[in-house]
Amino acid sequence: MIPICIATVRGAGLPVLLESIRQYAPEHPVYLRGPQAVIEKFDAHLKIFGKPRNFGEDYNQVIFAALKDYDEVLVANDDIVLTPDSVRLLMEDVGIIKTMNSVRPGPGWVASRSDAARPAQNVRNREGDETLNFYKYPSEGLIRVAQEVSPIFAWVSKDAFGEGFPPLNWYSDDVHCQDARRRGYVHFISASYVHHIGSNTIGFNAQKLHDEAMPWLKEHRPEYVAAWFGS
């Protein structure tokens, strides 16, 4: 079984996530990174300690550690909860996507849906419409192509992950998705679902997170700045 990779700063939601893994995906090794005081409480198969830096670098460390032993991984935020079918549906959809001749060099990210993610991944939520609807849309049971995904619970291969995330808290997933698309990879949204508490991984101060990312983006991906923000 492929591993589940988690990086945590405060670990507030980690006990619930790990319990859901024990209940619904116990055969999957867990590669876990975070403060020693948090991780020592849990029996993860691999423990990587270190002072938190940022979302991108922290996840790179644990994902690259897992990719030394595996060709593909599952990536999980520390503030999600798996359902009984989350892993099964995600891996079934990955298997379907791998058989598609039009996907070359292969799938990029294949990400679960959630109740708190970008609009394209949100359940009960039409793309571009923030008005919740509690009747299930038929599209929720389908695989969809997406330009970007939030890998709050997602599959990725060693080749697609490439050089990894940029050293950012915000926009690290957007940059990685765009970079992978430039290399020919196609991203997908699965029928799989996870509950997402939201923002516990990197914090709630959106303006601060945005401002901290801008210098790196302007220096290293100015074309993305122009496309996303108009200047």
Please give the torsion angle defined by the CA atoms of residues 63, 67, 72 and 76, in that order, rounded to the nearest 10 degrees.
-20
Question: Is residue 194 assigned to a domain?
Answer: yes
Q: Is 74 helix (H, G, I), strand (E, B) or coil?
A: strand
The per-type count for the chain, helices as H runs and strands as E runs, is 8, 9
Identify the CA nearest to 30 among candidates 71, 76, 61, 80.
76
2 near 95, Cβ under 8 Å? no
Instruction: Say what the pLDDT of residue 81 is.
Output: 95
Question: Is residue 107 assigned to a domain?
Answer: yes
Question: Is residue 141 assigned to a domain?
Answer: yes
Instruction: Say what the pLDDT of residue 2 is.
Output: 94
29 near 3, Cβ under 8 Å? yes
Task: Work out the number of other CB atoms within 10 angstroms of the CB of residue 14.
Answer: 21
Question: Is residue 221 assigned to a domain?
Answer: no
Q: Which domain holds residue 17?
A: 4-204
CATH classification at residue 198:
3.90.550.10
Question: Is residue 220 assigned to a domain?
Answer: no
Question: Is residue 219 assigned to a domain?
Answer: no
Instruction: Say what the pLDDT of residue 198 is.
Output: 67
Question: Is residue 174 assigned to a domain?
Answer: yes
> One digit per residue, pLDDT tens: the chain, 231 residues?
999 999 987 777 888 999 999 999 999 999 998 877 777 777 777 778 777 788 899 999 999 999 999 999 999 998 899 999 999 999 999 999 998 866 678 899 999 999 878 888 888 765 555 555 555 677 788 899 999 999 999 999 999 999 999 999 888 999 999 999 999 999 999 999 999 986 566 666 778 888 888 888 898 899 988 888 886
Please give the torsion angle defined by the CA atoms of residues 81, 178, 209 and 225, in that order, rounded to the nearest 10 degrees.
-160
Instruction: Say what the pLDDT of residue 85 is.
Output: 96
Instruction: Kindly report the backbone phi and psi dihedral angles of residue 28, in degrees, each rounded to the nearest multiple of 5, phi listed first.
Output: -90, 125
Q: In this structure, which amino acid lies at residue 190?
A: S
Q: How many CA atoms lie within 13 A of 229 on its CB side?
A: 13
Number of structural domains in the chain: 1
Question: Is residue 217 assigned to a domain?
Answer: no
Quote the CA–CA distance of 64 and 5 in Å, as a whole number. 10
